[in-house]
Amino acid sequence: MKIAPRKNPTPVIKWFLCDRCCISSPGINEYNIIIVAKGLLIVLVVFIALVALDWTLSVVGGMLPPLPSSFAFGPSAYPSGLGLAIGDFSLFDKNGVGRSYITQGYGITPYSAIYPHDWHDGIDIAAVYGAPIYTPTAGTVIATGDQDRYCYHRGFGKYVAIEDPVHGLVLWFAHLGTIAVSAGQSVASGSLVGSVGATGLETGTHLHFSIFEASGFTMEARDGCGPEPTGQDVNPLAYLGSIYD
């Protein structure tokens, strides 16, 4: 058997051990006091280095352009684009477990290059897994399905489409964990639609919510993901908080 040569300790360890063998000298003696003192010195040096790094990063951060104004938390800001406003809508139990943040707005966003035409056709609302989702309007369920059966984790995952005949709109709920309705069913405002999940193209648990004009809305198989919502989408934030509370 070949025996690996014993490696010399690194200079730091050598220095730490005072270049002498003091391990075998238990108790309080000058060598061990020196080791403790050197240990404290190393902790201090690391601490100062971290403080200096933090200061450097803050200076570099100060030289970067400011974040866009839409990057603001607060109940009043429902921006298109990046989002991160509080989304306290009746889609979720108000002030309940689902009360959460809009993590991506409508249209062209910092992340929308991954979608067809670089366009995010709804808003994303981060919420806890399993949070119940309610329809903010009465209507008819016109479609339910699961795109993961066609293109795993590339599409909308489990979805529900509800037509609101009063306003001529279709509400689209996607990435659901569970679906609580079936196609053809009439639903009252406030009915349970399903629960928040992580199906389809997801980087985190959230509800994708779109609104389409009912006129011309169809479900068509186009991109290998099974039936897709096809029609004119509109900015949901123009409707949530007004016709849908």
Positions that interact with Zn ion (CB under 5 A): 124, 208
Query: What is the distance between the alpha carbons of residues 174 and 134, in angstroms, rounded to a whole number?
Result: 13
Residue whose entry in the numeric block shows the structure tokens 């992580």: 198
| Beta carbon of residue 124, minimum distance to Zn ion (angstroms, whole number) | 4
| Beta carbon of residue 181, minimum distance to Zn ion (angstroms, whole number) | 20
CB nearer to Zn ion: pick between 139 and 157: 157
Question: Rg for the chain (alpha carbons), in Å?
Answer: 29
| Beta carbon of residue 156, minimum distance to Zn ion (angstroms, whole number) | 8
Residue whose C-beta lies closest to Zn ion: 208
Instruction: Give the distance from CA 197 to its chain's centroid.
Output: 12
Q: How many CB atoms lie within 10 A of CB 217?
A: 20
| Beta carbon of residue 81, minimum distance to Zn ion (angstroms, whole number) | 13
Kindly state the DSSP code that residue 27 receives in the 8-state scheme: S
CB nearer to Zn ion: pick between 124 and 228: 124
CB nearer to Zn ion: pick between 20 and 153: 153
The identity of residue 33, as a single letter, is: I
* Beta bridge partners of residue 143, listed in sequence order: 161
CB nearer to Zn ion: pick between 132 and 157: 157
